[in-house]
Amino acid sequence: MKTYGYARCSTNETKQDIERQKRELKAMGAQHVYHEYESGTKANRPELTKLLDAMEPGSTLIVTEVSRITRSTKQLCEIIELAKEKRLKLTIGSFVVDCTGSDLDPMTDGMLKMLGVFAEMERSMTIDRIKSGLKNARAKGVRLGRPTLTIGGIPKKVVGNFDKYSSGDLRFFV
Protein backbone atom coordinates (compact mmCIF):
# COMPACT_ATOMS: atom_id res chain seq x y z
CA MET A 1 0.00 0.00 0.00
CA LYS A 2 0.96 3.63 -0.43
CA THR A 3 2.62 5.70 2.23
CA TYR A 4 1.75 9.39 2.44
CA GLY A 5 3.40 12.19 4.37
CA TYR A 6 1.90 15.50 5.46
CA ALA A 7 3.96 18.59 6.32
CA ARG A 8 2.54 21.90 7.51
CA CYS A 9 3.77 25.27 8.64
CA SER A 10 1.55 28.12 9.79
CA THR A 11 3.15 30.98 7.89
CA ASN A 12 4.51 31.31 4.37
CA GLU A 13 7.76 29.99 2.93
CA THR A 14 9.59 33.28 3.53
CA LYS A 15 9.07 32.94 7.29
CA GLN A 16 9.18 29.18 7.85
CA ASP A 17 11.07 26.40 6.08
CA ILE A 18 9.05 23.24 5.50
CA GLU A 19 11.94 21.32 3.91
CA ARG A 20 13.09 19.74 7.19
CA GLN A 21 9.68 18.14 7.65
CA LYS A 22 9.64 16.91 4.06
CA ARG A 23 13.10 15.32 4.45
CA GLU A 24 12.07 13.64 7.70
CA LEU A 25 8.87 12.31 6.13
CA LYS A 26 10.83 10.80 3.23
CA ALA A 27 13.27 9.25 5.72
CA MET A 28 10.29 7.79 7.60
CA GLY A 29 9.12 6.11 4.38
CA ALA A 30 6.66 8.57 2.84
CA GLN A 31 6.37 7.96 -0.90
CA HIS A 32 4.08 10.93 -1.54
CA VAL A 33 4.38 14.14 0.50
CA TYR A 34 1.64 16.75 0.69
CA HIS A 35 2.53 20.08 2.24
CA GLU A 36 0.95 23.45 2.88
CA TYR A 37 1.25 26.70 4.77
CA GLU A 38 -1.93 26.93 6.85
CA SER A 39 -2.84 27.22 10.50
CA GLY A 40 -3.17 23.88 12.24
CA THR A 41 -6.45 25.04 13.78
CA LYS A 42 -8.01 25.74 10.39
CA ALA A 43 -10.63 23.09 9.64
CA ASN A 44 -10.49 23.37 5.85
CA ARG A 45 -6.95 22.83 4.61
CA PRO A 46 -6.88 22.02 0.86
CA GLU A 47 -3.78 19.79 0.84
CA LEU A 48 -4.82 17.82 3.92
CA THR A 49 -8.26 17.30 2.39
CA LYS A 50 -6.70 16.10 -0.90
CA LEU A 51 -4.41 13.76 1.02
CA LEU A 52 -7.16 12.23 3.14
CA ASP A 53 -9.37 11.79 0.05
CA ALA A 54 -6.52 10.08 -1.85
CA MET A 55 -5.80 7.55 0.87
CA GLU A 56 -7.09 4.03 0.29
CA PRO A 57 -7.67 1.30 2.90
CA GLY A 58 -4.35 0.00 4.18
CA SER A 59 -2.44 3.21 3.34
CA THR A 60 -0.17 4.88 5.87
CA LEU A 61 -0.22 8.56 6.86
CA ILE A 62 3.02 9.89 8.34
CA VAL A 63 3.52 13.20 10.17
CA THR A 64 6.59 14.27 12.10
CA GLU A 65 4.49 15.22 15.16
CA VAL A 66 0.83 15.59 16.01
CA SER A 67 0.96 19.41 15.86
CA ARG A 68 1.75 19.20 12.13
CA ILE A 69 -1.52 17.47 11.30
CA THR A 70 -3.66 19.54 13.66
CA ARG A 71 -3.67 21.88 16.65
CA SER A 72 -7.24 20.94 17.47
CA THR A 73 -8.19 17.97 19.62
CA LYS A 74 -11.60 17.87 17.93
CA GLN A 75 -10.05 17.69 14.46
CA LEU A 76 -7.59 15.00 15.60
CA CYS A 77 -10.53 12.92 16.84
CA GLU A 78 -12.16 13.34 13.41
CA ILE A 79 -8.94 12.20 11.70
CA ILE A 80 -8.75 9.17 14.03
CA GLU A 81 -12.35 8.27 13.13
CA LEU A 82 -11.53 8.63 9.42
CA ALA A 83 -8.47 6.40 9.91
CA LYS A 84 -10.69 3.78 11.56
CA GLU A 85 -13.30 4.00 8.77
CA LYS A 86 -10.72 3.80 5.98
CA ARG A 87 -8.56 1.27 7.85
CA LEU A 88 -5.44 3.48 7.72
CA LYS A 89 -2.18 3.34 9.63
CA LEU A 90 -1.07 6.58 11.31
CA THR A 91 2.56 7.26 12.14
CA ILE A 92 3.03 10.33 14.31
CA GLY A 93 6.75 10.67 14.91
CA SER A 94 7.67 7.35 16.49
CA PHE A 95 4.11 6.64 17.65
CA VAL A 96 2.39 4.14 15.33
CA VAL A 97 -1.38 3.73 15.40
CA ASP A 98 -2.62 0.82 13.31
CA CYS A 99 -6.29 1.18 12.37
CA THR A 100 -6.06 -1.40 9.56
CA GLY A 101 -7.39 -4.27 11.66
CA SER A 102 -9.57 -4.38 14.72
CA ASP A 103 -10.56 -1.42 16.87
CA LEU A 104 -7.92 0.57 18.73
CA ASP A 105 -7.22 -0.53 22.23
CA PRO A 106 -8.32 2.04 24.83
CA MET A 107 -4.74 2.88 25.88
CA THR A 108 -3.64 3.73 22.31
CA ASP A 109 -6.83 5.70 21.64
CA GLY A 110 -6.39 7.66 24.88
CA MET A 111 -2.70 8.32 24.25
CA LEU A 112 -3.40 9.59 20.75
CA LYS A 113 -6.06 11.96 22.04
CA MET A 114 -3.70 13.18 24.78
CA LEU A 115 -1.15 14.06 22.10
CA GLY A 116 -3.89 16.19 20.53
CA VAL A 117 -4.60 17.90 23.83
CA PHE A 118 -0.90 18.73 24.25
CA ALA A 119 -0.66 20.14 20.69
CA GLU A 120 -3.69 22.35 21.33
CA MET A 121 -2.31 23.43 24.71
CA GLU A 122 1.08 24.27 23.16
CA ARG A 123 -0.64 26.56 20.65
CA SER A 124 -2.62 28.28 23.42
CA MET A 125 0.54 28.85 25.45
CA THR A 126 2.32 30.30 22.40
CA ILE A 127 -0.56 32.73 21.83
CA ASP A 128 -0.47 33.77 25.49
CA ARG A 129 3.29 34.42 25.30
CA ILE A 130 2.82 36.53 22.16
CA LYS A 131 0.04 38.59 23.78
CA SER A 132 2.16 39.09 26.88
CA GLY A 133 5.14 40.19 24.79
CA LEU A 134 3.02 42.67 22.83
CA LYS A 135 1.52 44.07 26.04
CA ASN A 136 5.01 44.45 27.51
CA ALA A 137 6.27 46.19 24.36
CA ARG A 138 3.34 48.64 24.42
CA ALA A 139 4.02 49.36 28.11
CA LYS A 140 7.59 50.26 27.16
CA GLY A 141 6.29 52.66 24.50
CA VAL A 142 7.26 50.54 21.50
CA ARG A 143 5.18 51.40 18.44
CA LEU A 144 3.78 48.18 16.99
CA GLY A 145 2.60 47.49 13.46
CA ARG A 146 3.95 48.41 10.08
CA PRO A 147 6.44 51.22 9.91
CA THR A 148 5.12 54.50 8.50
CA LEU A 149 5.73 54.72 4.76
CA THR A 150 7.69 57.77 3.69
CA ILE A 151 8.49 59.01 0.21
CA GLY A 152 12.08 57.92 0.84
CA GLY A 153 10.90 54.34 1.36
CA ILE A 154 9.22 54.11 -2.05
CA PRO A 155 11.46 52.84 -4.86
CA LYS A 156 12.53 55.64 -7.24
CA LYS A 157 11.19 53.69 -10.22
CA VAL A 158 7.69 53.70 -8.68
CA VAL A 159 7.81 57.41 -7.84
CA GLY A 160 9.11 58.17 -11.35
CA ASN A 161 6.23 56.34 -13.03
CA PHE A 162 3.43 57.49 -10.72
CA ASP A 163 2.19 60.20 -13.14
CA LYS A 164 1.99 57.66 -16.01
CA TYR A 165 0.08 55.25 -13.78
CA SER A 166 -2.32 57.97 -12.57
CA SER A 167 -3.10 59.08 -16.11
CA GLY A 168 -3.77 55.50 -17.24
CA ASP A 169 -0.77 55.35 -19.61
CA LEU A 170 0.83 52.64 -17.48
CA ARG A 171 -1.23 49.60 -16.49
CA PHE A 172 -0.47 46.62 -14.31
CA PHE A 173 -2.06 43.30 -15.07
CA VAL A 174 -2.69 41.03 -12.15
Residues assigned a catalytic role: 10
On whether the CB atoms of residues 115 and 75 are closer than 8 A, the answer is: no
**How far apart are the C-alpha atoms of 95 and 106, rounded to whole Å?**
15
148 secondary structure, DSSP code: P
On whether the CB atoms of residues 109 and 80 are closer than 8 A, the answer is: yes
**Residue 41 CA: distances (Å) to CA of 65, 99, 106, 117, 146:** 15, 24, 26, 12, 26
On whether the CB atoms of residues 39 and 10 are closer than 8 A, the answer is: yes
Nearest to 66 by CA among 30, 112, 107, 108: 112
